[in-house]
Amino acid sequence: MSVLGRGDIKTAARIVVKVGSSSISGANVSQISPLVDALAEAHARGAEIVLVSSGAIATGMPYLNLEERPTDLATQQAAASVGQNLLIFRYQDSLRRYSIIAGQVLLTAGDLENPSHRSNARRAMNRLLGLRILPIVNENDTVATHEIRFGDNDRLAALVATLISADLLVLLSDVDALYTRPPHLPGAERIPHIAAGDRLPGVEFGASASGVGTGGAGTKVSAARIAAEAGTAVLVTSTGLVAQALRGDYVGTWFEPTPRQ
């Protein structure tokens, strides 16, 4: 079976886009509007779009008078409870310009490990997409535990892309692409293309430095491999380049997918 190539992005029928906390909360909350513009453009050409959005805890923090991401589980859950409501409101408020309705989908790791729950989640997502609803997915932080959770939303996005057999997964961050080492270090070189099965020997990846998120380049590579090995093409780029990415411009780092059986 053929796989999606870089030049075929505009023909992708089903796309999952993941955005991180630091890109759409705090000082960057204004990035929600251009992100929605890009999603709506792809939606208008007929693509089915799923947004996996972090940011519930970060969005809720100011309302709990927290200056730093809480470390204890109970406070994380409280911040997520407040923040998730506000986050969905902000997305729906922006989507209203395009007459697009959002549907909230909150998942735990257990939901995708339990066959019955996994089947239910797939059925619900497929139905939402069939109705031209734009599902907004996040980990259910209010009930998640340290022992049973996705760990980061890059992995959640990869598992969602696999669950619904997406053609393309776009992982957004604060950096325009993956580099051979953290991009602020001397000698860092952009990686434009990663072939299926390439383990990237000698490449160094750093962790998130935003202070509000949990991901980093390493988690994006791990997530991209999950999706690519399941047959979903993956593009890693910055939130500011999402419109160009969804139009098929040659931005970011492309993970070539393994052909689906």
22 — phi, psi (to 5°)? -70, -20
198 assigned binding-site residue: no
Q: Residue 191 belongs to what H/E stretch? A: strand 190-191
Whether 37 has a binding-site annotation, put simply, is: no
Separation in Å, CA 146 to CA 15, 149, 216: 29, 6, 19
Q: How far apart are CA 233 and CA 248, in angstroms?
A: 13
Residue 18 in marked binding region: yes
C-alpha to C-alpha distance for 98 and 40, rounded to whole angstroms:
7
What residues contact residue 259 under an 8 Å CB cut-off, 6+ apart? Answer: 1, 2, 3, 231
Would the annotation count 85 as a binding residue? no
DSSP code of residue 248: T
Separation of alpha carbons 61 and 25, rounded Å: 10
Angle 46-254-21 (CA atoms, 0-180°, nearest 5)? 75
Rounded distance, CA 122 to CA 118, Å? 6
**138 labelled as ligand-binding?**
no
Annotated binding residue 173: yes
User: 170-182 burial string, b = 16+ CB within 10 Å, else e?
Assistant: bbbbebbbbbbbe
Question: Which parts are annotated binding residues?
Answer: 18, 54, 141, 153, 173-174
Binding-site annotation: residue ranges for ATP: 18, 173-174
List the binding residues for substrate. Answer: 54, 141, 153
